[in-house]
Each structure stands twice: as structure tokens, then as C-alpha cells.
Structure 1
Amino acid sequence: MLTIYRSNCTQLHELALNTLEKGAWFNLINPTPGEIEQVALATGSPLDFLKAALDEEERSRIELEENHMLVITNIPVMRGHDSYDALPLGIVLTPEYIITVCLEANEVLADFRPESARAFSTFKKTRFLFQILYKSATLFLKYLKQINRRTDEIERYLRKSMQNEEIFLLLELQKGLTYFAASLRSNGIVLEKLLRLRSTSQVQHLIKIYEEDEDLLEDVITENKQAIEMVEMYSRILNGMMDTFTSIISNNLNRVMKFLASMTIILAIPTMVSSFMGMNVDVPFGPNSGFTITVLFAIVLTALSAFGLWRKGMF
């Protein structure tokens, strides 16, 4: 899907390919080959720049080619209630336009809509780029807080139920943290490179950084570092929690097996006594009181065995 916008400080207007204006924003979401070719023809952008973010495994990086700069950053996405992932977002800067390319509609770009047009300007390409990166960093923080809250909920469930479903949920959250950690580290490298490029004459015609833009970039770097620290902390907590609850479940299983073994021993005693006394041979105590004495004898042996097992901590 291809949409083209151009803001005028107060409103966001949608344009068509035949009514392009300088400072327009091309937003490509899971584009078709025809849409990519149309954007490449209209903006003069290299096709490989426009197709780079369509690879789910694409790493974050910056590429320069004549009058075009490609910035690929990983953004967080929520696949389900407890499933998180990271997706590459390509941002292409040209002297006149800014282009974003992504495989899926995402919350990062969804925040730049007509209702919030006063907060951004498509013709201020550098600031718009940094605002996209800032939104991505803050979204990482938002999802990390959600993961932390969800982990606390699952921990409370595990204290009561100890079911496999909760362990699988923790495993899913741990997978999301792993994706986030890799994405944030590679994003940090891109941000540091952008910070170094701000004074490079090679890209000054593409990136014009003013004082407030530089402050915004530093805020993005700070948010990204904070997200990295949170990912590392939550990962350690989650790993420790999974190890702890795995040990608890194993210990509970051992207690159940110990109890079952004790019950087997206790039930075997009256069975053994009745088997001996039930043989088709002469037995002591006579025919009248033999049954009563046998039952009492089995009960006494069973009680003594149960008491001994209880003293040994088998119950």
C-alpha cells in the first residue's frame, strides 16, 4: 500500500503521484513491485534502498549513495497477547522527499496521522526522521513495561497452579526480550553513526541538524540506552524466575512421587499379612478369632509403618 502525505505545520494532506510537492512523505506498507517502481521513478531512489526493509531479517544500518541515504532501524511489534517481535523499518532520505518502507502496518508510523499533524512536519526531513526513531525507542520502553507487568502476573499464577502453560508463556516473553535486545543494540549503532554524521559534509544536503534536532537525537540515544538496560535487567529476572519455578515444579513432583511410594509401602503391609493368613493351610488363633486377630495385626503393622515413614519425612 502506498500513501503520500505532505504537512503544512497544521494539517496533513494526502497527495497523489501526479500532484507531488517538495517535502512529501511516501509511506510504503507491504508494497507491491509496481508501487516500489513508481516511487523509485518519482523520487529517483535506488530500488535496493526501497526493497531493503522488505527482508524480515534485515539488520539495522545506514547506507549512503549519491543523493540518497538509507536508514534501517528495527521497530517493536506486538504479535499477540504475550508475543513480541522486531521488524525492520526502512527510511530513505532524498534532497526533496522522505520515504518509509515496512512489511506491516505498525504503531510507530500510525502515530503520525492527520490528528497529530501539529507535532511533526514532513518537509523537515531530519527532524521527522528523528521523531520516527524517538517513537520507536519509546515504544520499546512501553512494550518492556508491558512484559514486566505480564511477568508479574504469570509469577502470581505460578505460585498457585504450577502448570506448564505459564512456563510456556514465560518462554514466549523471553523470546520477545531476546528479539528486543538484538534490535536495540543494532539500533544503538545506527544512532551513534547518525550522531557522527551530523557534521559530515557528505550528508549535509540530506541531513540538516539544528540545535533542537540535535537535542532530539540525543534524547533518542538516551531512550535507546535505557531500553537496552531494561531489556538486560528483565532478561536476567525472567531467566532466574524460569530456573526457580522449574526447580519448584521438579521438587513438587519429587514430593508427589515420595508420597505415592509411601502409600504403596503402607498398602502392601495389610496385603502381605492377609496373603499369608489366607493360605489354605492350618493357621494359629483358631477358626473363631483368627480373622479378628489377623485384621488387628495388619492394622498395628500398618500404623507402625506409617508412623515410621512420617518420622522420616515421607509424608
Structure 2
Amino acid sequence: MMTYYRTDDQVIHEEEKLSDGVWVQMINPTHDECEEIAEKLMVDIDDVKAALDVEESSRIELQDGYTLILVDIPAIEIRHDQRTYTTIPLGIILTQDIIVTICTEDTPVLQNFVRSRVKEFSTKKKLRFVYQILYRTAAIYQANLRIIDKRRTEIEERVGSDTDDSDLINLHELESTLVYFATSLRANGVVLDRLTRYKRLEQYPEDKELLDDVIVENRQAIEMTTIYRDIINGTRELMSSLLDNRLNNVMKYLTSITIVMAIPTVISGIYGMNVNENWMPFANTPHGFLIICIITLLICVITMLFLRKKKML
């Protein structure tokens, strides 16, 4: 899908055709749409399609007549029947008069601009628009990181009560997401460093201040990712230790029961041997069977008390 937008007096509206000061939003475009915009703007079609490849890395390339900026933005995906986060490429093509954004999804990063939720937004001020996109990207990264930490807290609250293997799997998913975030944020940081030296388009003083804010927000998101990943790693190790401890307790309990149950088994086995009854205690004693059972019970009770004293039962 390809849509043209333009702002007049900070009010955004759709345009029917391509003209100066227009923002071209391409959401999962077809090959024909990519060819059309590449032909009209005289850009390489491979650069237009670059953001459609999920394996593309963040970078900035200066070409003849235009600039390609690729950054990773957060996105939502369903993994193991659960809502998780990942990152996808967002392509930005800057020409002298037009800005083009290409993405495989209708991302919230750009929805804020379409819905007029960003102050001082103008499609004519292309570099400021780019910085605003990057600022919204860093803000959404931070919002998603807070949600991830909240999920980690919910899992941590169950530690010691009803913790199970699914919690370990969920923690692993969160940790994997943080790895994706950390990789993407660092790559975006490299792009931001290059933008500080970008001289092709005119920049206003407030644009440079906005770029500084974007760099600060991106670094903060990187620090949050590092901190949350370390916390999740510690929580996962704690849960693994607790699960191992539970298993050890169960094995210790079963071993103690086995020891106690072995006592009557051994005694009954001895009395079941085919030997002369003269050599078997209580063989000819009245109520001998009852006496043997009482003695066996006493031995079992003494053994249980001993095991309990040793905290094995």
C-alpha cells in the first residue's frame, strides 16, 4: 500500500499525486509500487526494497541525489501463542523535495504522525521529520522495555510458590527479545552518529537539538536493555536453582520413604527363609507374629525420627 501525505499549517491530509513536500508512506508495498516510486524519484529499486528484507542491518548510505536511512524499529509478533516483541527494518529515503518511508507493517512509530499526535510535524522539514521518527522509535523501545520488565516482575512474584517450567520458557523469550533490542539499538546508534555529520540537507538549530535528544533517548534505551537483561538473567538463575532444589527435596523424600519401607521388607524376607524354626526368634512363642510386627513398627518409627532429625524427611 502506498499513500501520499502532506502537511499544511501543521495539519496533515492525503494527497492524490506526488509533489514537492509530500511524504510517501509505503506499507508492505508490491513490486509494482516499488518500481513506480523508484522511477518517479530516480532511485535504485534495491534501495526501495531494502526495508522489506528483515535481515537488513541499520545503516545510512549517501547516493547520487538521495539518501537511504535504514533503522530497526520495535514490532509485535506472536511467538508460541504469546504476544512478544521483535524488531523490523524501517527504510527512509530522502530526496531534495520528498521523503519516503518503507516498512513491512503499519507501525505505531508512523501512526502517530498520520493521526497528528506529534507536535510541530511538517512533511516539508524532512530532516526534522526523520529525527522525530527516530525519537518516536526510541520512545517506543523504552515503553516496550517497561512492559517486558513488568512481565518479568510478574514471573518473579511467583517464585517459590507456583513456579513451573513455563516461567523459565517465558523468561527465555523475554531475554531473547532484549538481545534483539540491544543489537538494534546499538546499530541505530551508529546511524545517529553519522547523522550528526550529515550536511546534505539544511538543518535548523532546533533540528540539531532534537537530534541530541534522540541520541540521549537511544542511549537510555540501550542502558535499560542492559539492566533488564542482567536482571532477567539473575531471575532465571534463581528459578533454575529453586526448581533444582525442589527436585532434590522430592528425591530426598522418596529416598527416606524407601529406607523406611525396606525395614519390614528385610525382616519379612528373613522370616520367610526355609530354615529350622528353632533358630528363628519368636517362632514358637505365643503371639510371636504380633511381637515381630510391633518390633518392626518400632524400628520404622525410630528410623523415621532419625531421618527427621537429619532433615531428610
Please give the TM-score of this superposition, normalised by the length of structure 2. Answer: 0.93
2:290 aligned partner, one-letter code: T
Structure 2 counterpart of 1:150: 151
* Deviation for aligned residue 1:87: 0.7
Separation in 2 of the partners of 1:280 and 1:215? Answer: 99
Structure 1 residues 190-221: Cα deviation after superposition (integer angstroms, max 9, x where no partner): 00110122xx3xx1xxx221011111110000
Structure 1 residues 279-314: Cα deviation after superposition (integer angstroms, max 9, x where no partner): 465243236311110110111110111122222221
Are 1:237 and 2:231 matched, yes or no?
Answer: yes
Separation in 2 of the partners of 1:298 and 1:99? Answer: 87
Separation in 2 of the partners of 1:45 and 1:102? Answer: 17
Higher mean C-alpha deviation, range 46-55 or range 166-175: 46-55
Pairing partner for 2:299 from 294, 298, 301: 301
Structure 1 counterpart of 2:216: 222
2:152 aligned partner, one-letter code: T
Separation in 2 of the partners of 1:73 and 1:210? Answer: 23
* Deviation for aligned residue 1:272: 1.8
1:86 and 1:180 in contact (8 A); partners too: yes
Are 1:2 and 2:5 matched, yes or no?
Answer: no
1:120 and 1:128 in contact (8 A); partners too: yes
Structure 1 counterpart of 2:261: 267
Q: Map of 1:79-228 to 2, 5 A cutoff?
A: 79-80=77-78, 81-116=82-117, 119-197=120-198, 200=199, 203=200, 207-228=201-222
Structure 1 residues 35-56: Cα deviation after superposition (integer angstroms, max 9, x where no partner): 0011112222221210111110
Separation in 2 of the partners of 1:92 and 1:115? Answer: 21
**Change in 2 beyond 3 A, CA 1:132/1:117:** closer
2:122 and 2:129 in contact (8 A); partners too: yes
* Deviation for aligned residue 1:278: 4.0
Separation in 1 of the partners of 2:128 and 2:119? Answer: 13
Structure 2 counterpart of 1:276: 270
Structure 2 counterpart of 1:71: 69
Structure 2 counterpart of 1:59: 57
The alignment partner of 1:288 has SS state of: coil
Structure 2 counterpart of 1:313: 311
1:134 and 1:220 in contact (8 A); partners too: yes
Separation in 1 of the partners of 2:67 and 2:58? Answer: 13
2:165 aligned partner, one-letter code: N
**Change in 2 beyond 3 A, CA 1:122/1:49:** same
Structure 2 counterpart of 1:46: 44
1:92 and 1:98 in contact (8 A); partners too: yes
The alignment partner of 1:188 has SS state of: helix
Separation in 2 of the partners of 1:76 and 1:35? Answer: 25
* Deviation for aligned residue 1:161: 1.4
2:112 and 2:118 in contact (8 A); partners too: no
